[in-house]
Every structure is written in C-alpha cells, then in structure tokens.
Amino acid sequence: MPARSCAASPACTLAVQTLYQDHHRWLVALLRRRLNCPHGAADMAQDAFVRVLLRPEALPELREPRAYLTTIARGLLHDHWRRRSLEQAWLDTLAALPEDLAPSPEDTLAIRQTLQQLDDLLSRLAPKAREVFVLSQLQGLGYAQIAQQVGISERTVKRYMAQGFELCLSLMD
C-alpha cells in the first residue's frame, strides 16, 4: 500500500510543522540520553519525524504528542539496538578467528551489507516470528527448545520458520 503524503493537506502540513517545532528538541534530548551520541540522536529524531509524515492519518486525533513520539522513538531504538547486537556478535566471531582466516576489508564490507539486508528483511516479520527465526538460525536452537522458550507450540514455531524462509527466498528473486 503506498504511503499517503502529508504535503497534500495544508492542515496536515501545519500539524507536522507544529509537532516538529514544539517537540523536536525534547525528542533529540530523549534520544541523546538513550544513545549517548548527539549525532545518532539527531538522525534518529529525523527518522521519527519521517515516520510521522508517513502516517498522517494519526495526526488529527493526536492528544499526547510526546507519547506518540516516544512510541516511534522506542521502535527506532529497538531496531538500532537489534542491528547493533547482530553486528557485535559478528565482530566477536571475527575477533575469535585466527588472523589467517579473517576476511579481507572487502569481504568485511560485503558481510556487513548482507547483515544489514538480512536485518531489514527480518524487520518485515512480526516480532514473535522474527524472534523464532533468529533463535533457530543464529542461536541454533531446535524447534522444541524455541517453543518452550518463547511459550508457543512447535507447530507455531514451524509456521514462523516457514514465514522467515519465504521472506529470505523473496530476497533471492
């Protein structure tokens, strides 16, 4: 479904402008405390407002703008930390390799780009399905272990895994 543009409506444009002027500094400060990086916080705040622009239908009923922005920021932070965790796990694995087995800088870049693509792809799955797929493929857990850990049936684990594999296959097309 294509994203609706906020630019088509003067009322929407004004609502976003007001939201930005009234809460941008507050949002950057909130994100700076969480990230401990002023540049990352500024970038993430901009990403939050891009998401606001992509969902203009939420603006007219907005009663608690800071709660709304906090919810968006929380999702962006979750994505950021998940991506960072995945990257750190890969770097730890690389550090444990003997030097003669370590990949070249070109290979390292290719692997990072692939990990980014995989993370973007997995973000399309529902949170539970993503968790199941990661537990299986990155942590090597069996379906029974995953079912017990996540609190779902083995059949649901299989269904989530099928969704994950279908998504991966779509990347190959």
Q: Residue 2 — pLDDT band, cuts 50, 70, 90?
A: very low
Q: What is the pLDDT of residues 13-33, one digit of tens each?
A: 888 888 999 999 999 999 999
Q: What is the pLDDT of residues 115-172, one digit of tens each?
A: 788 778 788 888 888 888 888 887 788 999 999 988 999 999 999 999 988 887 876 6
* pLDDT value at 40 more than 60: yes
Q: What is the pLDDT of residues 78-125, one digit of tens each?
A: 888 888 888 888 778 877 777 777 678 888 888 888 878 877 878 888
Give whole-number Cα distances, 66 to 26, 48, 49, 97, in Å. Answer: 9, 12, 12, 46
**CATH number, domain 104-171, options 3.40.50.300, 3.60.20.10, 2.30.42.10, 1.10.10.10:** 1.10.10.10
117 with 168: CB under 8 angstroms?
Answer: no
Residue 59 backbone dihedrals phi, psi, to 5 degrees: -65, -45
pLDDT at 1: 41
